[in-house]
């Protein structure tokens, strides 16, 4: 049985802290960059909760509102605006009370109900908007892939998703549907009930079989082959979860150009509590989120795992060892696959989407610098020279400067 969640908002737990840090680390850059586009921003927290925990810590709605107000105060762009909407099934009145102080730039709409009942109505008239959806559901059943497919039809200026996906919970349910009993004895799947709080999605008829529901969530029935391989001993529980995560991201790449994920775990040897998945169509957003995920990994190791000691600087967010030689080899092979020259930010975003967040973007730029110094690549910079007439050496794309790379 799922854990009793009546006390959920008494104390903010560690993994909720990391999820919200990931959001808080990205939104300032997101708002600042898109306010400059002069197109309106529409932010939706799809499972907003109460907004504040009883221990005084802020939830995602208040975190987002504080960032909104800070950026709106600082912006010099005329007619810039950030509209917000919070959807909450169980605690809408508590949420309204907790956000009532945010009046200067408007109290967001609070929708009492289910995300899947309201999201399309909220989005259908947002053509030309920059849309950001924070989807942190109570379980996996609300993550209907077909619903995500519909978002592409609205004609947004841009859309980004930050999704909390309980991949271990999905795989455990998949094993139960396929009557694979070994999952109940697998240590990889212990204590999942502490993480899962489900409600029945209204868009799925209760007469539908469970495997149909799981296929709707996953965006295909590829999960069945993974369960079969797990049952046959070809995969352990941890490898099966990673394979499902990879396949799920591949499905999202049918809808979005760039897809990243970050496992949320408390110790290196533990399975992830969740995976936070970011999907977008803009290289800048992907690069910024990749650095944000790498920074949160460092915080996780330092603040939670090592009580303030130095983190595991030579590991990826998947806790895999990585060296400068590894990065060089991966980048060299990646560039071999490129048929044409490529802009730096597109290169970085595409690399992270293919290989995961194996490092920060600055480390990849240092690898590219080494490749330029050894004549493995040709770099074209604009402007090509500094104000003093020296050749430019920058490896960043900011306002007024660009970097294009091709194999030598």
- Which range is least confidently modeled, 41-45, 129-133, 136-140, 192-196? 192-196
In sequence order, the 6+-apart residues with CB closer than 8 A to the CB of 297 are: 262, 311, 317, 357
Domain with CATH 3.40.50 in the chain: 14-305
* CATH class of residue range 324-407: mainly alpha
Tell me the angle at which helices 14-35 and 283-299 cross, rounded to the nearest 10 degrees: 150
pLDDT value for 352: 97
Tokens matching residue 62: 């208040």
Q: Which of the 8 DSSP states describes residue 162?
A: E
Q: Which of the 8 DSSP states describes residue 57?
A: -
Q: Is 228 helix (H, G, I), strand (E, B) or coil?
A: helix
In sequence order, the 6+-apart residues with CB closer than 8 A to the CB of 201 are: 114, 116, 141, 142, 144
Residue 383, preceding bond cis, omega within 30 degrees? yes
8 A C-beta contact, residue 173 and residue 250: no
Is residue 172 left, alpha or beta, with left meaning phi > 0 and alpha meaning psi from -120 to 50? alpha
| 310 has pLDDT over 50 | no
pLDDT value for 1: 39
Task: Name 162's bridge partners.
Answer: 134, 278
- From the CB of residue 348, how many other CB atoms can be counted at a distance below 10 Å? 24
End-to-end CA distance of the chain: 60
Split at pLDDT 50, 70, 90, the class of 361 is: very high
Nearest Cα to 134, choosing from 287, 23, 18, 21? 23
pLDDT > 70 fraction of the chain, expressed in percent and rounded: 86
Q: What are phi and psi of 271, to 5 degrees?
A: -70, 160
Q: What are phi and psi of 110, to 5 degrees?
A: -115, 120
Domain with CATH 1.10.10.10 in the chain: 324-407
8 A C-beta contact, residue 235 and residue 253: no
Residue with tokens 């040897």: 269
CATH number of 14-305: 3.40.50
Nearest Cα to 403, choosing from 383, 385, 387, 375? 383
State the SS3 of 9-33: CCCCCHHHHHHHHHHHHHHHHHHHH
Report how far residue 345's alpha carbon sits from residue 361's, in angstroms, rounded to the nearest whole number: 9
Residue with tokens 């909450």: 88
pLDDT > 90 fraction of the chain, expressed in percent and rounded: 65
Report how far residue 39's alpha carbon sits from residue 358's, in angstroms, rounded to the nearest whole number: 33
| 376 has pLDDT over 80 | yes
pTM: 0.91
8 A C-beta contact, residue 262 and residue 240: no
């Amino acid at each position: 049985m799922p854990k009793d969640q009546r006390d959920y908002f008494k104390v903010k737990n560690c993994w909720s802290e990391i999820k919200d840090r990931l959001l808080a680390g990205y939104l300032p850059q997101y708002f600042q960059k898109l306010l400059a586009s002069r197109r309106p921003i529409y932010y939706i927290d799809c499972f907003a909760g109460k907004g504040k925990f009883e221990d005084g810590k802020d939830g995602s709605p208040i975190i987002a509102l504080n960032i909104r107000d800070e950026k709106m105060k600082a912006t010099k762009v005329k007619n810039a605006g950030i509209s917000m909407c919070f959807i909450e099934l169980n605690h809408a009145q508590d949420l309204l009370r907790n956000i009532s102080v945010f009046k200067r730039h408007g109290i967001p709409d609070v929708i009492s109900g289910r995300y899947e009942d309201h999201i399309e109505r909220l989005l259908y008239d947002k053509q030309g908007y920059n849309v950001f959806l924070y989807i942190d559901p109570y379980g996996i059943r609300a993550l209907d892939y077909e619903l995500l497919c519909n978002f592409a039809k609205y004609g947004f200026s841009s859309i980004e998703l930050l999704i909390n996906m309980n991949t271990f919970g999905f795989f455990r349910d998949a094993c139960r549907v396929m009557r694979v009993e070994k999952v109940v004895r697998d240590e990889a799947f212990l204590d999942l009930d502490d993480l899962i709080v489900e409600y029945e999605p209204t868009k799925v008829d209760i007469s539908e079989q469970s495997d149909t529901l799981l296929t709707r969530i996953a965006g295909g029935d590829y999960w069945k082959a993974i369960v079969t391989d797990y049952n046959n001993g070809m995969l352990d529980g941890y490898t099966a979860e990673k394979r499902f995560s990879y396949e799920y991201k591949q499905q999202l790449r049918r809808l979005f150009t760039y897809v990243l994920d970050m496992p949320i775990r408390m110790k290196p040897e533990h399975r992830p509590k969740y995976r936070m998945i970011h999907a977008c169509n803009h290289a800048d957003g992907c690069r910024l989120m990749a650095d944000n995920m790498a920074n949160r990994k460092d915080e996780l190791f330092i603040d939670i795992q090592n009580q303030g000691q130095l983190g595991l600087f030579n590991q990826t967010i998947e806790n895999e060892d990585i060296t400068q030689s590894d990065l060089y080899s991966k980048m060299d092979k990646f560039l071999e696959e490129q048929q044409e020259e490529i802009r730096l930010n597109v290169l970085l975003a595409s690399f992270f989407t293919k290989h995961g967040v194996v490092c920060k973007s600055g480390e990849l730029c240092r690898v590219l610098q080494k490749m330029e110094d050894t004549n493995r690549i040709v770099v074209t910079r604009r402007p090509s020279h500094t104000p003093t007439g020296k050749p430019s050496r920058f490896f960043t794309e900011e306002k007024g400067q660009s970097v294009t790379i091709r194999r030598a």
